[in-house]
A and B are shown apart, each in its own frame.
Chain A
Amino acid sequence: DARVTQTPRHKVTEMGQEVTMRCQPILGHNTVFWYRQTMMQGLELLAYFRNRAPLDDSGMPKDRFSAEMPDATLATLKIQPSEPRDSAVYFCASGPLDLQGEKLFFGSGTQLSVL
């Protein structure tokens, strides 16, 4: 089965360090989403790309977060500098944009702990 692949699965870092999370969307999908999941806030949309172009990153703290798609097989989410409040599970999802609408297929997530 085709899957969205995220690395690393777990990341523990110290406050102030840079964190980079990577995502390989399903081959042929042209939409990519980054979500953050916490107990308090649930699933929050951070960024959305279509055909590698960023269409919406209004949910992302701009001063420290950045999201890019260097090519169709790689999406990255960076946090610099990281803070303890960034601790969460970060999910990447990809989807095919077809006539009926979009379906989102999620990766297994990166569990981030910032100490």
Chain B
Amino acid sequence: GQQLNQSPQSMFIQEGEDVSMNCTSSSIFNTWLWYKQEPGEGPVLLIALYKAGELTSNGRLTAQFGITRKDSFLNISASIPSDVGIYFCAGQLPSGTYKYIFGTGTRLKVLA
């Protein structure tokens, strides 16, 4: 079945540093969503991407829909302690299925 490879699995960074993470697949996706999950809570939607090449920002977060439609990237600039959590990508399979495949997550820890 389709899989999303998300990397890195975990990151320990200093407050103020920039963070980059990505998701890649052998499959083509129509939509990419990026989520953040904190302990004991459900994933919270951060950014949605709908077109190949699209670059979208939400505050200090910027995400891009890869040109090949097989990958997506999330960057966090000037990290702060509250950025701690697990970040998930989710790719929507081509139209007609409406299934989202989730990546395995990037666990981010920010050291003050």
A103 and B98 within 8 A (CB): no
A interface residues, Cβ below 8 angstroms from B: 4, 31, 33, 35, 42-43, 45, 48, 50, 55-56, 91, 93, 100-109
Interchain nearest-CB distance for A54 vs B (Å):
12
B98 and A50 within 8 A (CB): yes
Interchain nearest-CB distance for A76 vs B (Å):
18
**B62 an interface residue at 8 Å Cβ cutoff?**
no
Interchain nearest-CB distance for A90 vs B (Å):
10
A104 and B31 within 8 A (CB): no
Known: A101-B30, A105-B45, A108-B40. A43 touches B98 (CB 8 A): no
Which of A31, A42, A91 is close to B42, meaning CB atoms less than 8 Å apart? A91
Residues of A within 8 A of B108 (CB): none
Closest 10 CB pairs of A and B: A106-B42, A43-B102, A101-B31, A106-B43, A100-B50, A108-B42, A109-B42, A42-B104, A91-B42, A107-B42
How many residues does chain B have at the interface if contact means C-beta atoms less than 8 Å apart?
A: 23
A103 and B44 within 8 A (CB): no
B interface residues, Cβ below 8 angstroms from A: 30-31, 33, 35, 40-45, 48, 50, 88, 90, 92, 97-100, 102-105
Which of B40, B98, B104 is close to A102, meaning CB atoms less than 8 Å apart? B98
Known: A43-B102, A48-B98. A101 touches B92 (CB 8 A): yes
Give the residue name and chain of the B residue nearest to A89 (CB). B42
A97-B36 Cα distance, complex, nearest whole Å: 22
